[in-house]
Amino acid sequence: MIHLPRASPLHAARAAVGSAWCVVLAGVALAFEHPLVITGLLLVVIAAAAGAGVARPVLRALAFSLPFVLVIALINPLVVRDGLTVIARLGTVPVLGALDVTAEATAYGGILALRALVVIGCFALHSAAVDPDDLLRAFRRLSFRSALTAALATRMVPVLARDARRLRDAQRALAGPPAPRHAVVRAVAVGALDRAVDVAATLEVRGYGAARRPPRGRRPWSRHDLAFAVSAAGLAALAVTAWLADWEAFAAYPHFTAPVDGALLGLLAGLALVALVPYADRRGMGA
């Protein structure tokens, strides 16, 4: 995943605010367990990605993560003994003991997988829409070199991906059978060291080694900065309120209960509204 500049409200918001909004949205997903809320949040993330003009890469990231979340969904019923509705008895397995798969553990595995999808979607949206350089600038006053190292590490990913693509193309254009994939991977890995040395030399001649803590910059808050900051605060407030007021009546064990009532639907509508309202303002987004 790389940053994809677009004319969108989320792109136009300052990186610290955009980043906080994505993190809060992921946090909200971790705070709830009701499948309807989690599913609703997944749709919110996809809608937000569409509003930011990065739906395709975010959906691609979600698709890539499917095997991972499937593993989560499968592991939970195998390792969790809770739940009263046994749907399969798989016998006794060394170390793990008796493997009784329950409907509750299976359902909760699905919820965990869904929640992981929401979190992955939030961070895919973060990667695509939050400018890493702006983020680096925001954090460099705290820890300049750590922030830069993190930014460079993420920058090496597309560079190495491009190297790998070039190497693969070069091999495809040769006579005879194509080179084995591991040979290409090894060449890219060796090349990564050269790349790292060259990039380090560039950092040196750009004055990185003698870098001073930058002075505090004053940048007026744009309408998008304000909108996403308010949205992030609203999401957090809604989540805390719902948790304190127990709007989400959900229990996975021993019996799976996920009632849908007015409070839950109101929570869901509130979360979606608060999260997506900033995307409605399309003014002043820049290029």
Partner 1 sequence: MTDGPGRSVVFERVTYSYPDAARPALDGVDLEVAPGEFVVLAGGSGSGKSTLLRAAAGLVPHFHGGTFAGRLAVGGLDTHEHGPAALAAVAGSLFQDPETQVVMGTVRAELAFPLENRGLGAAAVARGVEEAALALGIAHLLDRSTHALSGGELQRVALGAALAGRPRVALLDEPTAQLDPVAGDELLGVLRRLNEEWGTAVVLAEHRLERCLSAADRVVALDAGRVACDADPRGFLDWAREHAPQLQTPGARLFALAGRSPAPVSVKDARRALAAAPAPVRDDALAEGSPAGASSPGRSDDGAAGWGGVARRVGRRRRGPEPVLALKGAWLERPGGAAVLRGVDLVLAPGEQVALMGRNGAGKSTLLRLAAALEAPTRGSVRRGGRVALLAQHPGDYALHERVADELPPAELAAAGLDGLGARHPRDLSGGERQRLALGIVLHGERPAVLCLDEPTRGMDRGHKDALAARLGALAAGGTAVLLATHDAEFAAAVAERTVLLGDGRPVADAPTAEVLAGGWYFATQTARILGGAALLPEDGAALLAREPVAGAAP
Candidates 33-41, 211-219, 220-228, 268-276 — which segment interacts with partner 1 by CB under 8 A? 211-219
Residue among 89 and 162 whose Cβ is closer to partner 1: 162
Which of 44, 28, 23 lies closest to 126, judged by CA? 23
Q: What share of the chain is helix, strand, coil (3-state, %, to 5)?
A: 70, 5, 25
Indicate which single residue of 143, 146, 149, 202 sits in contact with partner 1 (rule: CB under 8 A). 202
Q: What are phi and psi of 260, to 5 degrees?
A: -110, 115
Which of 170, 174, 78, 61 lies closest to 116, judged by CA? 61
In DSSP notation, 37-73 reads: HHHHHHHHHHHHHHHTT-HHHHHHHHHHHHHHHHHHH
6 touching partner 1, by CB under 8 A: no
Count of chain residues binding partner 1 (CB under 8 A): 59
Residue among 202 and 257 whose Cβ is closer to partner 1: 202
Q: What is the 3-state secondary structure (H, E, C) of 81-134?
A: CCCCCEEEEEEEECCCEEEEEEHHHHHHHHHHHHHHHHHHHHHHHHHHHCCHHH
- Return the amino acid letter for 16: A
63 touching partner 1, by CB under 8 A: no
152 touching partner 1, by CB under 8 A: yes
Q: How far is the CB of 192 from partner 1 (least distance, A)?
A: 11
Indicate which single residue of 60, 145, 166, 282 sits in contact with partner 1 (rule: CB under 8 A). 166
In sequence order, the 6+-apart residues with CB closer than 8 A to the CB of 285 are 7, 8, 9, 11, 12, 224
142 touching partner 1, by CB under 8 A: no
What tokens were used for 207? Answer: 């004055």
162 touching partner 1, by CB under 8 A: yes
201 touching partner 1, by CB under 8 A: yes
Indicate which single residue of 16, 74, 167, 277 sits in contact with partner 1 (rule: CB under 8 A). 167
Four-residue CA torsion sign, 85, 87, 92, 96 = negative
138 touching partner 1, by CB under 8 A: no
172 touching partner 1, by CB under 8 A: yes
286: left (phi over 0), alpha (psi -120 to 50) or beta: left
Q: How far is the CB of 79 from partner 1 (least distance, A)?
A: 41
Candidates 26-34, 76-84, 150-158, 276-284 — which segment interacts with partner 1 by CB under 8 A? 150-158
Q: On the CB side of 129, how many CA atoms lie within 13 Å of its CA?
A: 37
The residues in 98-137 that bind partner 1, with binding defined as CB under 8 A, are: 131-134, 136-137
Contact call for residues 88 and 103 (beta carbons, < 8 A): no
210 touching partner 1, by CB under 8 A: yes
208 touching partner 1, by CB under 8 A: yes
Binding site for partner 1 (CB under 8 A): 2-5, 131-134, 136-137, 140, 151-152, 155, 158-159, 162, 166-167, 169-176, 179, 183-184, 186-187, 190-191, 194-195, 198-215, 217-219, 286-287
